[in-house]
Structure 1
Amino acid sequence: MSDKQHLYLVDGSAYIFRAYHRLPPLTNPEGTPVGAVYGYTTMLWKLAEELHKANGPTHLAVILDKASKSFRNDIYPEYKANRPPPPEDLVPQFPLIRDATRAFSLPCIEEEGLEADDIIASYARAAAKKGWDVTIVSSDKDLMQLVGTCAPSSDEPEHPGGGCIDMLDTMKNQRIGPDEVAEKFGVPPEKVGDVLALMGDSVDNIPGIFGIGPKTATKLIQEHGSLTGALDAAPDMKKSKLKERMLEGRAMAELSRVLVTLKEDAPLPMALDDFKLDAIPPEPLMEFLSTHGFSSLLKRLEAGTGSPSRKTDLNPPKADNGKEAAPASQDGHRQPLPDMPAVDRSAYICVQDEETLQTWIARAFAAREIAIDTETSALDAMQADLTGISIAIGPNDACYIPLGHGGSDMFSEKPAQVPFSRALELLKPLLEAEAVLKIGQNIKYDLNVLARHDIMVRPIDDTMVISFNLDAGRSDQGIGGGHGMDELSERHLGHTTMKFKDVCGTGKKAISFGEVPLDKATEYAAEDADVTWRLYQHLKPRLALEGGTRIYERVERPLIPVVAAMEREGIRVDREALSRLSGEFAETMASLEKTIHEMAGEEFTIGSPKQLGTILFEKMGYKGGRKGKSGQYSTDQAILEKLAGEGAEVASKVLEWRQLSKLKSTYTDALQAAINPKTERVHTSYSLVGAQTGRLSSTDPNLQNIPIRTEIGRQIRQAFVPEKGNLLLAADYSQIELRLAAHMADVPPLKEAFEKGEDIHARTAGELFGTVDRDTRSRAKTINFAILYGISRWGLAGRLGVESDEAQAMIDRYFERFPGIQRYIVRTLEEVRERGYSETLFGRKTWFPRINSKNQAERQGSERAAINAPIQGTCADIIKRAMSRMLPALAEADLGHVRMLLQVHDELVFELPEGDVEKARPVIEKVMAEAALPAVDLSVPLAIEIGTGMSWDAAH
């Protein structure tokens, strides 16, 4: 080791909560919850062992909070008053976590009346004054005040130079030095406390000055040099809201400065030299792991394999401040790939006889974990013919089982293959075996293909969904929003897969997969299974390491077979009603076309943006035309709506024509073509990775964008009907986003209104405008939702038809009446800028790599999305949990024949016999209302509106 002493101080409290939220509930042999203990143990093991192996670290201690109260509560009783008590199942784990630390033979320091940050500060300063370098293992912004070079102590003549203090964020694998602190706060570390005192901290309930956020706080300290300087300058500021707030909030800012100041001279309960880092003695750790049933970690210890997770770079490169991405880089959380040989397509086996198939099935049973993939004749899982199945049980250990190969001509020679029905008969026990995990990439498709052959695949894992739960938003390019197999293979494995067009061709010369020669088909199909198996080995461990286990295991994985079943159910549509609507739309469009041509004075193609732009801005002379790079005028909806608002009737007519054209092509025509000839129902396809916030998206056909409030939209919904003797039941969450906002932002007036069942928009109108009438309620409704989407003053002005100053006054008044909403917005943006992602109540992460972009439009777009993502994502999580629980609840109530057909936004649509409505209604309502429990106990009730009828429209 280096001659220079290097102390690492671990912020253990942060580790505890990170561990708790990463892992599902676990219990030890005595039934005590130990999920957080297990996560904490793996994290600490990794860090301690690697520090010991590294060239440089010499000393290590873990610092914990002794209690929830500290000397700061004596100064300000409301300090941390907003923090909820720790989860009930976490409380008994606190002493076990202390035991875990000591099992590693590491110092575990905690002191009554002090917070962990104060102990860390005192040890860090003491060590640095002795000339030691200090690294604080944490990302806590309060501790960033300590970063930098410390002056030497006069009491340590043998150490003439002071040591350096930096931080290590193991989540982002990032060193934090003075440059990184200055990049984050805009001021050097010694001024961070001044910025924090002005902006306050809603998490710790440090008041700061109301209305001053991070940017304003930084600017004030930059301009005036200190908190005192900024406060002293307030009387001379020009009249403004800021001046008023500075004058009124001086006392709170000064109090906040005391609260954020770390105690750096606390007595040290253990000597620094007692923190010396040595190898971990195995005996105490072995006893601890055995006691709590951590068998997998125990095996690693006994095998001498050391840390059960990836290596932490002890000297990671500092962030490139020239980049526009968030601090967490695109690859900052990547787990090194397990050692595997390169993909070798020549190693794959084509199974053409029953004996070989039996051998592979036996090997798959023994493997207990296999990747599967189906090859079909088409993309529509409900109509495609099954052409073959591939299985992988290890790298390059994969096979392809052809089931329907041979030319389309009846005289074409068929290659040798196991007869279709016999092959499925042999594969069925394997694919349904509970003891064998089946891994797929978008396995929902394979479930539906095989279910049509009476094979119900289980249990399952899905690499596409796992990738989405880890990296949603990190990449918005490519198949599946960045989660398709080809892209994942390139990104994680560095391997370029064979493309479908490479084996089947394109255009007129394209052939079906069943016509592909078996050697090429085997390379392509078995590679899919092989790559899926490899991706799983890489992605699945990341769930526990990066906090994705809760959302995947509690929300997403249980949903996959449920959504697959809904797709198979489909929904009946009235072909005649759709045909009639298509005819009516065509007639109205023809009439509109004639009117538009008369207004223009000539005939032209209305659907051509180029011709329409020329007519509007050159021939008819309307102002505001803008040409793009192509040289043609923009005629998008915003432009036409602007012209219509200025009195251009032709623009109104074009908008009407466009709407009818879209509805006709997208719905009334497309739905008729989408009717499955065998089931006579329409089967949409739901994507579990299509929306960044976690909501399901619907395609082929899209059933989620049918207009709800227009008469035309109602007519289309009237064409969705039940089978004879049945009804449709629609169950819809009422104002769920506002309810979640009231809970997540802790807004007492809104929570009270929901508890009492009041009209929330009327309540908001009363709070904002003092009176409630049709106009103020409408405005309040717009504001309620717009604020949650991070709308700007100009955006709100456009929606309400007012000047931007008036819109800003409304936003200010809203925040004054509901300060919790503003605190939520500030806190959310602060967290996203720091971490790079937002998080729902259930742990769903959405990444925003452009949140710190220097491009204003990109940055502001990310900020708006980041404000809404936790709320909208939690909505998605809740309805998904309801869907997963719904069918078992109905079956338990002897209502197993009730079919769940559609999920549209916050609504579920069912089909059931008319006589079962009264029995099914309370079951459906209870499941939806309690979907958040027990993981999240909301402080507002979830209200469900249920309707029934002989059409989807009538059920509303």
Structure 2
Amino acid sequence: EKLFLDWVMKNSHEDCKFMNPSSKVQIGHLLFGSGEKEFEIANVDGYNPENKKVPPAKRKIIIKGFGLEPVSETPTKRPQVNGEVLEKLAGKPNGGDSYKQGLLYQTFFGNIPGKKLPIELQNLEKILGLCHALHNLLKMTKNNTIINGFLSPLPKMTDKNGRIHASLNINTETGRLSCKKPNLQNQPNASQDAYNVRGAFCAEKGNKLIVADYSQLELRILAAVTNCKSMKEAFKTGGDFHSRTAMGMYPEIEKALEKGDILLEWDYSKGNPPVPLLKDAYKTERNRAKVLNFSIAYGKTAHGLSNDWGVSVEQAQETLKSWYAARKEVEDWQDQVKKTGKNAEKPRTVTLLGRYRPLPDLKLKPSERRRQQGLSDEEKLEQRKENSQKLQRRGHAERAAINTPIQGGAADVVNTAMVKLFQHEKLREMGWKLIMQVHDELILEGPEGSAEEALGIVLDVMENPGLDEYMNGVPLQADASIGDTWAECK
């Protein structure tokens, strides 16, 4: 917080040292507002310019806006101010040169057609300073979320043995389990957890935890349901799937590989690679390939991708075309799924093992255009609003028609593995129990002495749950580890 406020105070207005970095209104004006604006705040510092007997309860401060173009807007047309927006502006705060992925840096170097920075920010030193300041703001926000959402409430939820018993819900739209009171599926991951919350979840004395996780399960389901030849070959070959995707999307990467300037993968048991790996030399391209791989499974459009990447819709559309060019089966399957769902008597989509999800909005159509003559401006506006809402609902249903078979298929695989692990006689005999599921991850607890044997059984069951007839030759892969705490196993 202090690092953020120090930079803002030097580059906006000295009053900014008193601003509330958790206030979306104040941050909104700082980033997207123009000129100076007064804000009334609580006078916690006892500011008393008129030397009154009792300092006033409120005081005013000035915040000078940088005048940035809004990344996105609220329904009331105000600039959105949230973590997602801050990350789009400054890149994710992962250290290193992650700021280079942000809109501020990309715009400064003219990589986003039609976008310019305010004159005051047309200075590289200032852009880098703002990126680092926003990274500090993001870290502060995430730390506060961890404290208020996890560290404070979790100790109050334990039983007399120090265990937490959450509620799991199986009645979800896609078939994936959800969790509440508390939501153990939403614990912060290691890269975002400054307080090591997962380290607090530990095995009983004499026991160990096994944490097993499916590798790229949703993408494997996508390859299976579409019977996509190139995706199936990539998974059978193994290695870095996202790097392989980037290789096929960008001709310059393929040329660099052919010339030997970079390597696709490397076995580090042989020492350090002689040349850079693709994932290091072409970070931006690989990251876009990774985003695209998962976005395809979620039915995201070129418009959505353009917002994610900070590029034009046309550029995003070209990238989508290059992805589909090597995976035509996926595009054909998506079109067929939407068509089948719309034409059914009861619009719906279906998962890998036949679980149906009703999608009545697939059949929504905009109202027929009525004669404009005689309609009031208010009626015309209402008609446009109604049609816009119908199109939005239909678009959501079409994305759900694509995504549900993928997410639901992943749920089918995980749930089948869970049942088989629960029923496994050897695991029961050794004293191992399944204690939690977190999306594609299963957590078991049992005696330390049989942990290695149990680990082998868990991996075998997860990779061979008996669904070969549905997987179309796509192999399932799981990774697992043993530890005393949840954090140790990640």
> Alignment partner for residue 750 of structure 1, among 231, 252, 266?
231
1:780 maps to which residue? Answer: 289
> Alignment partner for residue 606 of structure 1, among 11, 17, 21?
21
CA positional deviation for 1:614? 4.7
Q: 1:714·1:953 contact (CA, 8 Å) conserved in 2? A: no
Q: 2:483·2:489 contact (CA, 8 Å) conserved in 1? A: yes
Letter in 1 for 2:21: I
Instruction: For structure 1, list consecutive stretches of 5 or more residues without a partner in the other structure.
Output: 1-588
Q: 1:842·1:935 contact (CA, 8 Å) conserved in 2? A: no
The count of corresponding residues between Structure 1 and Structure 2 is 365
Residues 1:680 and 1:845: Cα distance change in structure 2 (over 3 Å): same
CA positional deviation for 1:813? 1.8
Alignment of 1:366-765 (within 5 A): 601-602=15-16, 603-616=18-31, 617=33, 618=37, 619-623=63-67, 624=69, 634-644=80-90, 645-646=103-104, 647=127, 648-649=130-131, 651-676=134-159, 678-689=160-171, 691-708=172-189, 710-712=191-193, 715-765=196-246
User: How far apart in 2 are the matches of 1:627 and 1:933?
Assistant: 45
User: How far apart in 2 are the matches of 1:934 and 1:642?
Assistant: 41
1:953 maps to which residue? Answer: 487
1:559 maps to which residue? Answer: none
Residues 668-721 of structure 1: CA distance to partner in whole angstroms, max 9, x if unpaired?
A: 212222222x121122211112x4211111111112123335152682222222
2:362 maps to which residue? Answer: 851
Residues 121-150 of structure 1: CA distance to partner in whole angstroms, max 9, x if unpaired?
A: xxxxxxxxxxxxxxxxxxxxxxxxxxxxxx
> Alignment partner for residue 922 of structure 1, among 456, 476, 483?
456
User: How far apart in 2 are the matches of 1:843 and 1:721?
Assistant: 37
1:913 correspondence with 2:359: no
Residues 1:765 and 1:881: Cα distance change in structure 2 (over 3 Å): same
Residues 1:808 and 1:837: Cα distance change in structure 2 (over 3 Å): same
Q: 2:227·2:472 contact (CA, 8 Å) conserved in 1? A: no
Residues 1:652 and 1:763: Cα distance change in structure 2 (over 3 Å): closer
Q: Give the TM-score of the pair, scaled to structure 2.
A: 0.67
User: How far apart in 2 are the matches of 1:814 and 1:633?
Assistant: 32
Secondary structure in structure 2 of the residue aligned to 1:812: helix
Q: 2:221·2:471 contact (CA, 8 Å) conserved in 1? A: no
User: What percentage of aligned pairs have identical amino acids?
Assistant: 30
1:842 maps to which residue? Answer: 353
1:789 maps to which residue? Answer: 298
> Alignment partner for residue 804 of structure 1, among 310, 313, 335?
313
Residues 27-50 of structure 1: CA distance to partner in whole angstroms, max 9, x if unpaired?
A: xxxxxxxxxxxxxxxxxxxxxxxx
CA positional deviation for 1:666? 0.9
User: How far apart in 2 are the matches of 1:937 and 1:793?
Assistant: 29
Letter in 2 for 1:819: K
Secondary structure in structure 1 of the residue aligned to 2:362: coil
User: How far apart in 1 are the matches of 2:73 and 2:233?
Assistant: 52
Secondary structure in structure 2 of the residue aligned to 1:620: strand
CA positional deviation for 1:831? 1.6
2:474 maps to which residue? Answer: 940
Secondary structure in structure 2 of the residue aligned to 1:942: coil
1:118 maps to which residue? Answer: none
User: How far apart in 2 are the matches of 1:744 and 1:795?
Assistant: 24
CA positional deviation for 1:816? 1.6
Residues 1:633 and 1:767: Cα distance change in structure 2 (over 3 Å): closer
1:96 maps to which residue? Answer: none
User: How far apart in 2 are the matches of 1:869 and 1:919?
Assistant: 35
Residues 1:761 and 1:606: Cα distance change in structure 2 (over 3 Å): closer
1:820 correspondence with 2:329: yes
Q: Larger radius of gyration, structure 1 or 2?
A: 1
2:438 maps to which residue? Answer: 904
User: How far apart in 2 are the matches of 1:804 and 1:826?
Assistant: 20
Q: 1:609·1:633 contact (CA, 8 Å) conserved in 2? A: no
Secondary structure in structure 2 of the residue aligned to 1:790: coil
User: How far apart in 2 are the matches of 1:803 and 1:874?
Assistant: 33
Letter in 1 for 2:86: L
Q: 2:27·2:81 contact (CA, 8 Å) conserved in 1? A: yes
CA positional deviation for 1:780? 2.5
CA positional deviation for 1:738? 1.2
User: How far apart in 1 are the matches of 2:484 and 2:201?
Assistant: 9
Residues 1:630 and 1:605: Cα distance change in structure 2 (over 3 Å): farther
Secondary structure in structure 2 of the residue aligned to 1:621: strand
User: How far apart in 2 are the matches of 1:637 and 1:897?
Assistant: 43
Letter in 2 for 1:680: G
User: How far apart in 1 are the matches of 2:181 and 2:407?
Assistant: 24
Secondary structure in structure 1 of the residue aligned to 2:163: coil
1:541 maps to which residue? Answer: none
CA positional deviation for 1:643? 4.7
User: How far apart in 1 are the matches of 2:288 and 2:22?
Assistant: 35
CA positional deviation for 1:638? 3.9
Secondary structure in structure 2 of the residue aligned to 1:698: strand
Residues 1:834 and 1:819: Cα distance change in structure 2 (over 3 Å): same
Q: 2:88·2:308 contact (CA, 8 Å) conserved in 1? A: no
Q: 1:887·1:896 contact (CA, 8 Å) conserved in 2? A: no
User: How far apart in 2 are the matches of 1:779 and 1:939?
Assistant: 27
Secondary structure in structure 1 of the residue aligned to 2:479: strand
Residues 377-432 of structure 1: CA distance to partner in whole angstroms, max 9, x if unpaired?
A: xxxxxxxxxxxxxxxxxxxxxxxxxxxxxxxxxxxxxxxxxxxxxxxxxxxxxxxx
CA positional deviation for 1:830? 0.9
2:410 maps to which residue? Answer: 875
CA positional deviation for 1:888? 1.7
User: How far apart in 1 are the matches of 2:154 and 2:463?
Assistant: 32
User: How far apart in 1 are the matches of 2:178 and 2:416?
Assistant: 16
Residues 1:944 and 1:627: Cα distance change in structure 2 (over 3 Å): closer
Higher RCO (CA 8 Å, separation ≥ 6 residues)? 2
Alignment of 1:21-36 (within 5 A): none
Letter in 2 for 1:905: H
Secondary structure in structure 2 of the residue aligned to 1:945: strand
2:338 maps to which residue? Answer: 829
> Alignment partner for residue 398 of structure 2, among 856, 863, 867?
863
Letter in 2 for 1:744: V
CA positional deviation for 1:921? 1.6
Letter in 2 for 1:953: A
Q: 2:302·2:313 contact (CA, 8 Å) conserved in 1? A: yes
1:396 maps to which residue? Answer: none
CA positional deviation for 1:593? 6.2
Letter in 1 for 2:167: S
Q: 2:209·2:444 contact (CA, 8 Å) conserved in 1? A: yes
Q: 2:214·2:476 contact (CA, 8 Å) conserved in 1? A: yes
CA positional deviation for 1:805? 2.5
Letter in 1 for 2:157: A
User: How far apart in 1 are the matches of 2:354 and 2:138?
Assistant: 42
Secondary structure in structure 1 of the residue aligned to 2:153: helix
User: How far apart in 2 are the matches of 1:821 and 1:714?
Assistant: 41
Secondary structure in structure 2 of the residue aligned to 1:895: helix
Q: How large is the Cα RMSD of the aligned pairs?
A: 2.9
CA positional deviation for 1:946? 1.0
Secondary structure in structure 2 of the residue aligned to 1:761: helix
